[in-house]
Structure 1
Amino acid sequence: MNQTLNISVQKKLFFLVFSCLFTCQFIFSQTNDLSKKAWNDMQKILKEVAPPTFKKQTFNIVKFGAKADGITDNTNFFKKAIQECSKSGGGTVLVPKGKYKSSAIHLEDNVNLHLEEGAEILFSTNPKDYYPLVHTSFEGTEYMNYSPLVYAYKKKNVAVTGKGTLNGQANSENWWPWCGSERYGWKKGNPSQSDPLNRERLVDMAEKNVPVEERIFGEGHYLRPNFLEFFECTNVLIQNITIINSPFWEIHPIKSKNIIVDGVTINSHGPNNDGCDPEYSKNVIIKNCTFNTGDDCIAIKSGRDADGRRVAMKSENIIVQNCTMFDGHGGVTIGSEISGGVSNVYVENCIMSSPNLDVAIRLKTNSRRGALIENFYVRNIEIGQVKEAVLKADMFYNVHGNQNGDFIPRIENIYLENVKVKNGGKYSILAKGYKESPVKNITFKNVTIEKVDQPYAIENVENLKFIETHINGKLINN
């Protein structure tokens, strides 16, 4: 009797172990298949995006009257050279070595603005120099405002290249104090973007669906312009340049397609100094870049609240390769202006490290933003140090007052593999979803995280998987 019972128990145990092994193998195989498909999809996107080509003719701005003395206003000379280049079928507008003062530079079709090594464009800090107002965007809301410092509107085959420098000359005496923070030079009693007739009014106009052409701001409203903005453009290249001292976001492709940002160095620590912010854009490649910023290094966006839902265009097929991130709120971030949604983000072969880097991989939204964030793939990343978390997925991101609404967001499918972290800060994973809309499908595969206070802090997360993952020297099991 006992022998029969023991045999029965052994059979049950064998079946249980076999079932567990089979299930684990199935999950592992399924995860591998999904990951493999994702990276194959990335390769297809890479093949679709080719850099723009230009006619082999050069238009030297000096021949149009420009002077490299750092004093002369060269705005009209840039304009003449760019227009002549475009009318002649395109080519290169050359900025030779030297310092050239200018206000807004507007690109035309088939023009490559090329800065020689040692060339520097010093942009005016007088807001009146950025008139007439143009169709642009502030934190995910479209409006009429000061021109971005470099601006292309509905253009094809445009580029800003070369080893020169774009210097916004922003500091705590101009542009930056408009943010309303004493840290950046604002003083009590001075105007700022936070005054009721400024940022708050713009958001309210969008909520009331006021036409964009009637959202007129500019002088007296203290909303800072973006540095480089490509609005509804196709085939854009930004390559090898250095960007410093920006008034606001540095590189902002909006409603654009086929964008390559390659070998760019960004060093700007002002307020909202995001490095690169693709918004409502498709097929964006950011590679070989260095980010040292006052906000997110890379922040993928798709409109704010009602304005994002009005446009109803997601950002998709965003690739980040071989980049280095130092200071910033996030290394690679999605949000918070995200109401159109984001799909298919690929990050590989990057290095992130700084005591001033808050989060390596960050997703932020709330119930006023809503939308779906899906398919975020990360591999082969080295992280030296972060303050708060390696991965943070937050559906309750809260700035600028009440952020509660009726648009419950969704976050699904986040994969990190082959990631090494020397100092993980407070959390390996910090994730918070809604009970009715949990954060779904987070996978850590072959991830090693050292010196982290807590393995994870999660709330309403569904299907969190650890595969061959070690935290603080211990193998983590589901």
Structure 2
Amino acid sequence: MKKIQTLKISVLVFIFSLSVLSLAYSQSGDKIEVEKFGAIADGKTLNTLALQKAIDEVSRKGGGTLVFSKGKYLTGFLQIKSNVTLFLDEEAVLLGSTNPEDYQKLEIEDAPISPKTDDNSKLALLLAHRASNIAITGKGTIDGQGRELAFVIDSLHHTGERIDPNYSTQNNRPSETARPKIINFSECENVTVQGVTIKNSACWVQTYELCNNLVIDQVTVESRAYWNNDGMDITDCRNVRITNCDINSADDGICLKSYYPGYFNDSIYIANCYIRSSASAIKFGTASVGGFKNVVIDNITIKDTYRSAIAIESVDGGFIENVQVSNIMAVNTGNAIFVRLGHRAGETPGTVKNISFKNIKAQVPFGRPDEAYDMRGPELPFFHNQFPSPITGIPGHYIENISLENIEIIYPGRASKGMAYIPLWQLERVPEKIKDYPEYSMFGELPSWGFYIRHVKGITMKNIKLKLDNGDFRPAFVLEDVQQVDMENLDLPDDKNEQIILKNTRSTSFDSKSERFIKTIK
């Protein structure tokens, strides 16, 4: 774990550098009221031309701050240019148009090519490409009016006026490629988003692609307007600091992605955030072409989250290495920890190694964690008992060097063999699902209630406390095809001895407290 300890020091160094850069860029240049360019804050007048003129002129003159005073500024697509800051006063609202014609895709030459199609990546309310020293600050609000906009897009498709070629007939909604995001910045340098509230997107709320030196601080996300409302997506970026944010999203809260071969996320710091989500709170790897390196996640509070509190996944050939997750409090979450190495795409499977979880507390309910939401995650199409936390590679390709220390998870229990049942002598019934979309529920019914660990090389578990609100007929742990296991000071229910099941597991070390729970099977 020396690499992970060094990681935290290096990340803290760049955090200080980013903070200085952020302050400098957000306070640079003259301050100019947007009304001087003809903007009208009545919530009815479309200000796109006036606001774009203001941005263009301020950038051309070397930079400055455009001030939005009290009022509602209706606008369509705006392109943010270098050295421009948008400052929103506390009672200022930048209001997205509900007319799809007010949004244009930006045609970009010489952009990196992704093997994963993302035609919607350049469709947004606020878009920047290859800009530097840009910022959105203040205590005001950006409201995308996403539900209303999505309904108009849907209606135009059905009337034949604006056909969405990727329309989802199964889900009865326009595709992601047809719905604008609120913020989409790509290949930008020195970006700050600070203090504002961003809400009601028709698609992902914020996307940052291939950016360097990105600060997102004290941002509130309220986006439960429509489907695919990720709070923020970070794609193949370097030197990123996400701190003190409050996120309530109808999809993943903070999602790291990697779309581009030869590029990867590097030096990412996420801390002091509150997240509520109808999907996963913090997730990375559902798009994992390049990879993820040097990621620190610290002091996160998670509540009412339908899927995983923390999900770390490589399924498209990318690498994941040097990740430190600590001080997580997750209450009412569908799953605590999910780590997955799969092989959905790419010439060869990727790698997942050097992952540390420390000081994690989680509570998993018996029912749906998002029951009170108006936007709820889709129901699973099969019967199952409550899922454990899976840590799974694939045959011949192991997750390597993973440690868990000071972990406490409360599970609901109440499992029934009549509901679903994988007997311990039939562990081979658990499918590999090598090419499937990564999700903690992807394997169907699992034979343990606490952790399910398969195809892992080098796992340390120390001070692990697993509790049950009610009884569960399954063991707490199942380990299959695992090498180099070190378990110490496990606190498990005493109602039965066989809580740790080992199959094809080698090079093990257990203290006397843990040893009494072990059963080895063939």
8 Å CA contact 1:176–1:247 kept in 2: the answer is: no
Tell me whether 1:152 sits opposite 2:128 in the alignment: yes
Q: Given the alignment, which residue of 348, 351, 371 partners 2:318?
A: 371
Unaligned runs of 5+ residues in structure 2 are 169-173, 367-385, 414-448, 469-489, 493-513, 516-522
Q: What is the root-mean-square deviation in Å for CA atoms of aligned residues?
A: 3.1
Secondary structure in 2 aligned to 1:66?
coil
Query: How far is 1:442 from its partner?
Result: 2.0
Match of 1:287 in 2: 243
Question: Unaligned 5+ residue runs, structure 1?
Answer: 1-30, 197-218, 398-402
Out of 421, 424, 447, the position equivalent to 2:407 is: 447
- Per the alignment, residue 452 of structure 2 pairs with 457
Residues 177 and 326 from structure 1, CA distance in 2 versus in 1: closer, same or farther, beyond 3 angstroms? farther
CA shift for structure 1 position 193? 5.7
Q: Tell me which of 297, 300, 303 is aligned to 1:353.
A: 303
1:342–1:373 Cα contact (<8 Å) kept: yes
- 1:421-457 deviations in Å (ceiling 9; x for gaps): 2337745521221111112222111111122551111
Q: 1:295 to 1:188 in 2, by over 3 A?
A: farther
* Aligned partner (choices 177, 199, 204) of residue 244 of structure 1: 199
C-alpha distance in 2 between matches for 1:69 and 1:285:
35
Does residue 339 (structure 1) correspond to residue 311 (structure 2)? The answer is no
Between 153-162 and 49-58, report the one with greater CA deviation.
49-58
Q: Equivalents in 1 of 2:346, 2:121: separation in Å? A: 28
- Please report how far the alpha carbon of residue 177 of structure 1 lies from its aligned counterpart in structure 2 after TM superposition: 8.5
Q: Kindly tell me: are residues 232 and 324 of structure 1, through their superposed partners in 2, closer, same or farther at Cα, counting changes over 3 Å? A: same
Matched position secondary structure for 1:85: helix
Deviation at 1:463, TM superposition (A): 1.9
Which residue is 1:46 aligned to? 15
SS in 1 for 2:178: coil
Partner in structure 2 of residue 168 of structure 1? 144
Q: Within 2, Cα distance between the matches of 1:220 and 1:325?
A: 25
Distance, in Å, in 2 between the alignment partners of 1:405 and 1:348 is 31
Quote the residue 1:200 is aligned against.
Answer: none
Q: Distance in 1 between matches of 2:361 and 2:352?
A: 24
Deviations 1:309-352 (A, max 9, x none): 3xx20111111010000123111111211101111111111101
Cα separation, partners in 2 of 1:464 and 1:194, compared to 1, 3 Å:
farther
**How does 1:133-144 map onto structure 2 within 5 Å?**
133-135=106-108, 141=117, 143=119
Structure 2 length normalisation: TM-score?
A: 0.71
Partner of 2:277: 327
Deviations 1:203-252 (A, max 9, x none): xxxxxxxxxxxxxxxx9995323321111111000011111111212121
In structure 2, the residue matched to 1:414 is: 355
TM-score normalised by the chain length of structure 1: 0.77
Alignment CA distance shift 1:37-1:193 (3 Å):
farther
Aligned to 1:194: 166
Give the Cα–Cα distance (whole angstroms) in 1 for the partners of residues 389 and 293 of structure 2.
21
State how many pairs are aligned: 405
1:86 aligns with 2:62: no
Matching of residue 76 in structure 1 with residue 49 in structure 2: yes
**Which secondary structure does the structure 1 equivalent of 2:124 belong to?**
coil
Question: What's the CA shift for 1:188?
Answer: 12
> What is the match of residue 491 of structure 2?
475
Task: Give the Cα separation in 1 of the matches to 2:306 and 2:145.
Answer: 24
Identify which range, 420-429 or 464-473, moves more after superposition: 420-429
> Hey, what does 1:11 align to over in structure 2?
none
Are 2:253 and 2:280, in contact at CA under 8 Å, matched by a contact in 1?
yes
Decide whether aligned partners of structure 1 residues 250 and 68 sit closer, same or farther in structure 2, where only a CA change above 3 A counts.
same
Q: Give the Cα–Cα distance (whole angstroms) in 2 for the partners of residues 195 and 118 of structure 1.
A: 37
State the partner residue of 1:4.
none
Q: Residue 386 of structure 1 contacts residue 423 of structure 1 at CA under 8 Å; is this kept in 2?
A: yes
- Contact 1:371–1:407 (8 Å) recurs in 2: no
Q: Could you say which residue in structure 2 is the equivalent of 1:383? A: 330
Deviation at 1:144, TM superposition (A): 7.9
Structure 1 Cα separation of the partners of residues 115 and 346 of structure 2:
18
Question: What is the correspondence of 1:11-22 to structure 2 with a 5 Å cutoff?
Answer: none
Matched, 1:266 2:266: no
Distance verdict in 2 for CA 1:424–1:379, change over 3 Å? farther
Matched to 1:417, the amino acid is K
Q: How far apart are residue 57 of structure 1 and its match?
A: 1.4
Deviates more, 1:315-324 or 1:413-422: 413-422
Q: Percent identity?
A: 28
Distance (Å, rounded) in 2 between the aligned partners of 1:85 and 1:240: 22
When you count helix as a share of all residues, which structure comes out higher?
1
How far apart in 2 are the matches of 1:123 and 1:466?
A: 49
Residue pair 2:100, 2:149 contacting (<8 A) in 1 also: no
Report the CA distance shift for 1:222/1:234 in structure 2 as closer, same or farther (over 3 A). Answer: closer
